[in-house]
Amino acid sequence: MDINLSEEQLAFQQTIRDFTDREIRPVAREMEQSGTYPTEIVEGMKEMGLFGLTIPAELGGLGVDTLSLAIVFEELSRGWMGIAGILGSHGMACKLITEHGTAAQKDRYLVDLASGARRSGLALTEPDAGSDLQGIRTVARKDRDRYLVSGTKTWITNARHADPLPVLVKTDPEQDPPHRGMSILLVEAGTPGMTITRDLAKLGYKGPETCEIVFDEAVVPAENLLGNIEGLGMSQAISGLQTGRVNIAARAVGVAHRALEEALNYSGEREAFGRPIGDFQAVQLKIADMATKIQAARQLTWWAAARLDEGQGAATEPAMAKLFASEVALEASLDSMRIHGGYGYSTEFEVERLYRDAPLMAIGEGTNDILRTVIAKELRKTGLTD
């Protein structure tokens, strides 16, 4: 597939790049190291309408295509991957409500979510259930016109700001297979019985909070059942994960590109034996491999995005893009650190942060080994695609 960005997409790309260069790159390292929440950057994204990326224009959003979505996440991640994470979880939640919510749910939430007046996230993972979502233990028991929710969710981005928070639960724990008894509830901030117990300490991915949430007979109105039909939660979640994998792939490309940029700049300035280290073949080989793989990862990500935009119900393409791009990010960040030598290990240089951020993309939205099995199973069912 030959993918060329339209004039509108190129202009959009430049707008996000300018914002990143102006508002994010100058402050990212200091804010990340101090643990400062990026409030001013979030306000800037609100003004640009970026919280409405996945919400239709008629509901106040931008309603961009998946390829434009990938552009946003790549450009933001060149500055600070954590910033992209704030938008990523929010955008997935908005997409779920847009595609599966009732008319009343869309009217209640989407306009405020598009403006950033409300924010959201996605509560799927549990302490004993990550890749195996059918193994979740959070249960929602119907009690007249409400659900009583009990269980624990963990690794939840935007948890302290989410209102509402889509939560994957079992409304019928006895169903076999389990996915037939799974549903998504839209849990509003301040819900009685819902407690954010702690922020999880992380190697990287600083900026957005990542929390553990405990539900102890939390009271959720029955009207907050996504789509108003029980048993569709697993399919609803999976539909969002396809776009989420393109999101993660694009973030990985952004981190990898920044790692290459830092390596190029440093190798042109750092001298050894009387000349820039970029003159040495060992360094040139690393840079050439980085640049080639990054471009391949970008094209694969754009291809996956285009397949989703074509309405291809794609599972293989987003999985391939996320798998390949995240491995490239890991490799590029390490090679950039090697080019920097001892300085690459210093918190005074950007590459150290990139090296800590890169592993998340190999884990988030399905670990890479799980995605390898997804790809293989899909190929056995459908055969190779062109």
Work out the number of other CB atoms within 10 angstroms of the CB of residue 216.
Answer: 13
Strand order from edge to edge, sheet including 165-170: 182-187, 165-170, 139-143, 146-157, 210-221, 194-199
Residues recorded for the chain: 386
Q: How many Å is the maximal CA-CA distance in the chain? A: 79
Q: Which of 212, 261, 365, 378 is catalytic?
A: 365
Do 63 and 57 contact (CB within 8 A), yes or no? yes
Work out the number of other CB atoms within 10 angstroms of the CB of residue 312.
Answer: 14
365 is annotated as an active-site residue: yes
Return the active site residues.
365
